[in-house]
Structure formats: structure tokens, C-alpha cells
Chains A and B, each alone.
Chain A
């Protein structure tokens, strides 16, 4: 059956094209696109296809998340693959790459297959497990990287953990390179870290245990050096600082196989967010200075940072209803990522096409996934976005089991209204509201 989404503003962030028109698909593949004049409807008619009125919203390629925690197996009180998938679809995503620090860890094909299968059952997004580099993420022996690759794993990483044995990490990267995998590396050198706040004016005044930017610099420099040494593509996850961006730019200019991402929260919040000791604002790596935030946004705007990740970390009340020092870091973000970037767009800090590129095009490039463009022959993986709607972030408004967000009770602007994966709606606020 053919479906035609009409009366929308089509944006193709890959090419920068933006026009009023319609998109038609069949069998999960885009068959045609067309331009119309706003308000006049489609002069060619829908040609017998099922028609969906896009009501003037923005139509973009669906989002892909490179880094989220779906917490299953092991931490289902926080999230499971089904609830995470529903949240991701509500956030406009059709594929999500999930962290390996589950219990048991995703360090072999059994767990990898289990997670992928749970994703298939949930049926909302493609769930792509990141395989561990070391067994049990313990940093001591190599995980079953080849078998995980055979099972369909595309990337390896150690979640938010630090592999102290740089030699083992090197070998892990070399070995992952054998199977065409990308290494997703986060990082702060823990020897420099005293706590989960940016070492700066706010930590000084508020007496917070802190981490200097140098902790990220050391980690990013190490990971760039390993990318250069091993030639295995390295994705630098969750850069937080101007210094990290500087090292990234230098590495890219030299042709080192690195890509990078920033977490959405780090693009809109800075160190001042933690001044009130609200555990909801505690994330890792820390929210850094206003200058760092600005450097991150600039890097997303000019493409030096390929992708924006949700860094979705659903956490239970018991993880967060604690003193700041004791609270578990992380925020439930996958349903607010677009709204946060939209805030930057509305503030004139980030062009709309750059925001959509970082959500839809960059991440697919990192993982080698098809799509990210609206053109005949491409997958019908799309998201319809209401850029103007104001909505309050309440626990009930979030599909995720994690209600831990610094925006709880606040009003955000912009929200996906429909997510289409393989031609089927996986999330539909548009027609549900009728």
C-alpha cells in the first residue's frame, strides 16, 4: 500500500534542501517526493495513496541515537528495551545504539542477540547493542568481539568506563578493526577526577568535587593516538569541552579516523546548572563552562562534531533522591533531544539543518546505516516535527521509565508528532489526537 504524507515542510539535512511538499512511500521505501505551494494542497492529488495530512509540520529523516542506556538485562527498574524503544520512537528515533554496561554486560554474542531480539519484539526502533571491548567491562581481558560482530554488532565500547591498561585497549581496537567495527570511546582520565562537576568557578564557590577539563583532554588525546596507531575508526563520544573539540579538529585535519559526538544536555546547559546541587543535573561527563558549551555548539554547527547523542540514562528515584555527591549521574533525555536542539535553533545558535544533520545524518554515517535523506529509493525512515508546540515535561509525558531530567516541570518547545520506520508509524501523536 502506498502512503503519502502531504502538507509538510520537507527538510533534507544532507543536502540542505528545504521545500513545501509531499513524500510518498511503499514497502518501506520512498517512491516519490513533490513540491507544492503551502495552503494550496497537492495539485497532483494523492494518486490513490493513503494520505496523511502533515499539517504544516517539518518532515525530516528519522533520528539515530549513538548512545543510550536501555538498562536491560539487569536494571529493568530503570528501563527495559521495550520502554526504551517506546521512548526513543517518541523522540523521533528509528535506531538506537545501546550501552553494554548491563548485567550481565554485553560482552558476548548471547547478550548481544538477546538485546537485538528484545528490540525486534518491541518493534519500535532498531536496537543496536554496543559490544564490550573487555570481558565484563573489567578492563582485564578481551571480550568476544569477533562473535559479537558476527551476531550483528557494529560498534564496541566500554560504556562510561575507563580501560586503565592502554595496551589492552590498543589491542581491542586493533582486533575490532579486523571485523570492520567502530570503537565508541568516552572518557576522562579518572586519575584526574575528584568528582562529577566541572572544575571552575561554580565548583570553587559551591565546594563541589570536580573534574578539570584536562581529564577530558588526556582521554581524548589518548583515544586519538590509538585511532591513529590502530587505524580502527574511533568515535569520541560525549565531548564536553573546547579543548576536546580542539584535539578533535586537529586529528580530523590530519586524517585520523575519528568522529565525535556531543550529548544534547551539554549543548544547552553549563556548569551553572549544578549550582543548586539538584541531583537531576548530575551527569557524566560534567556540564562544563559557558565557553565550552559554545565551542560544542559551534562544532555541531560546522560539522566537526558529527552527531548529537541523547546519552539517555534513565535512573530510578532511589538513584537520584540523594545528596548530589551520592546520586547516580545521568538524565533521561531521549524524548527531549529534539526540543533541546530546537531551543538552540530558536535562539539562533544553531541552524536547523545542522541540528537535523547531527540527529539524522551524522549518526548514520558513524554506524554505516542507510537513510538520512529524503529521496526516491531511500528508506522510509522519517520523523514529522512540530517545531512550535510548547509542552511540559511531566513524568506522565515521558514514555521512558526514567523520569530523571533536569527539565522536569519545565516547558520545552518542539516535539516529534510522528515517527515512521520502514514506512510504518512507530509513534503517532498526530492521528492519536484526532
Chain B
């Protein structure tokens, strides 16, 4: 089994490692479908959920994942912490280390914050989203979901639509999918496309239609209105009209294409309610698979600590 000390990003994670995580996640998914949804695998392991940036679903998903593996969890959020009193991330983390956690799951508003932590403290770090950089477990759960529906990721045509520039979900999907041999197209208004993405081997579109055409997977990203004001697009109405996914546009994709969204959705903005709730939408499966993938990641990062 390929060894991992941290999971900071999918960039640089090998095809073999991704496959290992996804295979293991399939086994753990079965645990969640049992009557008793708990295994003793990580008994004695302590997982700290260190969430500097608010997040409900990712934190809950990690917490459920850890608990189903019988790990102990400590939850530490920005509002409840001394960080709001001016303590630095490093000092807070050093204090956390006094509780001897084995794994620290970090959500942070700054890109690279998890790298900083990984250099500074002796625990396995899982990046649960760092700024606009990556959200590797989201990328993994998305790939897991795609694989469940499409069998293989190889040569799969995946369209990612929305604010690519500021999206860590987009980056993790791009990195992971390219590693797994999928073909990635991204689309969004030019205000939301970062430069030079084509250098990675991604096809870049400034209209949604050509990106969706013939796609196996259509992934819509959340428009983060709270972050961007009105500098990047004029209004929700116009965004929905020009870049939103509706039934007509979905018709351009392959007939068996699936629709994904990392949540939380802005219904009526990037995705119409009828598409979000249609039979091809796998949005709620993504949430369920998130737990399985996170169980796999926590297991791979800490199981070796239980040996000997």
C-alpha cells in the first residue's frame, strides 16, 4: 500500500494512491450501510477537526467518518477558539498538540495553511479545504461518485462549470481527474477563469454550452456571492441565464450524463431546481460518499500508528 504522511492536495498524488483510497472507500461505504455503522478500526486514534473557516457539512462528514472508525474526535472551530482572540495558527496548533492528536483535519481560508501546519507540527494533516488551493477529499469523493456511475475514470469527459478561479473543489478535481486519465473541461465567465489552465492539459471554455457538449459528467460549482461582490458578474439573474445549468443545456451532454455539485447549492443561480432534483443528479450521493472517502483517508493516514 502506498504510504501517505499527509493529505494536503491531489497534485502529485499518484494514480495508484488514488485508486487505493477509492477502493478502500468502497469497503468503508458498506460499513455505513450496515445496521451498526461502526467498526473498531481506529480505536485509540485521536482526530482533531480544526476548522478555522466555517463549514458545516465537511466538518460533520469528517466527524461521522472518524466516529464510524471508532476514533476519538475533538472539534475546534474559529469562533470558539483563541484564534479569534489574536493567537496565531501555529500557537493554537502547538496547544492542540498537547492533546496528542494523531490526525489534524484543517479547514482554513488561506491557501497553503495545511502545508504550513504540516511543516510545523508532528501530526498527519488532512486538508479539508485551504483557500482557493485544494479540497482533496472533495475531489476524491467526486471521483468515487463518478467511478460508481461510470465504472472507470479513464477517458471520462468531465465538465466543471463556474468560478474556477476561486474554487478549491475545481483544483482538486482537475488534479485528481487528470491523474486518473479523465479529460477535463472547465467553463465560466472569463472573470472566473485563472490564467494558463490549458498548460495543465485542461480544455478551457468561456461559454457553458461547448463545455457540456458530449460530457459524461457535469459538475456545477457554487457561486460564492458572499466572497465576490458584483465585480465578476452583474447579477444572479444574468449568471443563471448565461452560465447556469438548466434542462436544455443538460441536453447537450451525453444522455446518461450525471450532474454533480459540491454544495451548498444556490438553486436558481448555477443550477435550476428541476435539474438539481432530476434522476441524473447525484448530489446527495456525493454527500454519502464523502463519509466513505474520508474514512478511507483517515484510515490510511493513521492505521500504521496502531501497528506494534
Interface residues of A (CB under 8 A from B): 199-201, 203-209, 276-277, 279, 318, 321-326
Contact flags (1/0) for B112-141 with A, using CB distance below 8 Å? 110110000000000000111110000000
A207 vs B197: C-alpha distance when bound (angstroms) = 12
- Shortest A175–chain B CB gap in Å is 36
Instruction: Using CB atoms, name the residue of chain A closest to B199.
Output: A201
Contact flag A201-B89 (CB < 8 Å), given A206-B111, A206-B112, A324-B111: no
Instruction: Using CB atoms, name the residue of chain B closest to A202.
Output: B196
Instruction: Using CB atoms, name the residue of chain A closest to B134.
Output: A207
Complex contact B131–A207 (CB within 8 A): yes
B185 at the interface (CB under 8 A from A): no
A281 vs B192: C-alpha distance when bound (angstroms) = 27
- Shortest B54–chain A CB gap in Å is 17
B75 at the interface (CB under 8 A from A): no
Complex contact A207–B132 (CB within 8 A): yes
CB-defined contacts of A276 to chain B, threshold 8 Å: 112, 115
Contact flag A205-B116 (CB < 8 Å), given A200-B196, A323-B108, A325-B131: no
B168 at the interface (CB under 8 A from A): yes
Complex contact A323–B11 (CB within 8 A): no
Contact flag A321-B88 (CB < 8 Å), given A200-B195, A200-B196, A204-B195: yes
9 closest cross-chain pairs (CB), A and B: A277-B112, A207-B133, A207-B132, A323-B110, A325-B110, A204-B194, A207-B111, A201-B196, A323-B113
Interface centre among B88, B131, B134 (most CB of A within 10 A): B131
CB-defined contacts of B11 to chain A, threshold 8 Å: 205
Complex contact B200–A322 (CB within 8 A): no
CB-defined contacts of B111 to chain A, threshold 8 Å: 206-209, 277, 324-325
CB-defined contacts of B108 to chain A, threshold 8 Å: 323
Contact flag A204-B112 (CB < 8 Å), given A321-B88, A322-B90, A323-B89: no
CB-defined contacts of A206 to chain B, threshold 8 Å: 111-112, 133
A206 vs B115: C-alpha distance when bound (angstroms) = 11
Interface centre among B11, B109, B110 (most CB of A within 10 A): B110
CB-defined contacts of A321 to chain B, threshold 8 Å: 88, 90
A310 vs B110: C-alpha distance when bound (angstroms) = 29
CB-defined contacts of A200 to chain B, threshold 8 Å: 195-196
Query: Of B90, B113, B200, which is within 8 A of A205 by CB?
Result: B200
B171 at the interface (CB under 8 A from A): yes
A318 vs B130: C-alpha distance when bound (angstroms) = 21
Complex contact B194–A203 (CB within 8 A): yes
Please list 18 pairs of residues, one from A and one from B, whose beta carbons are closer than 8 Å in the complex, sorted by A's number: A199-B194, A199-B195, A201-B195, A201-B196, A201-B199, A203-B194, A204-B194, A205-B11, A207-B111, A207-B132, A207-B133, A207-B171, A208-B111, A209-B111, A276-B112, A276-B115, A324-B112, A325-B111
Contact flags (1/0) for B173-195 with A, using CB distance below 8 Å? 00000000000000000000011
A276 vs B89: C-alpha distance when bound (angstroms) = 18
CB-defined contacts of B168 to chain A, threshold 8 Å: 207
CB-defined contacts of A203 to chain B, threshold 8 Å: 194
CB-defined contacts of B196 to chain A, threshold 8 Å: 200-201, 204
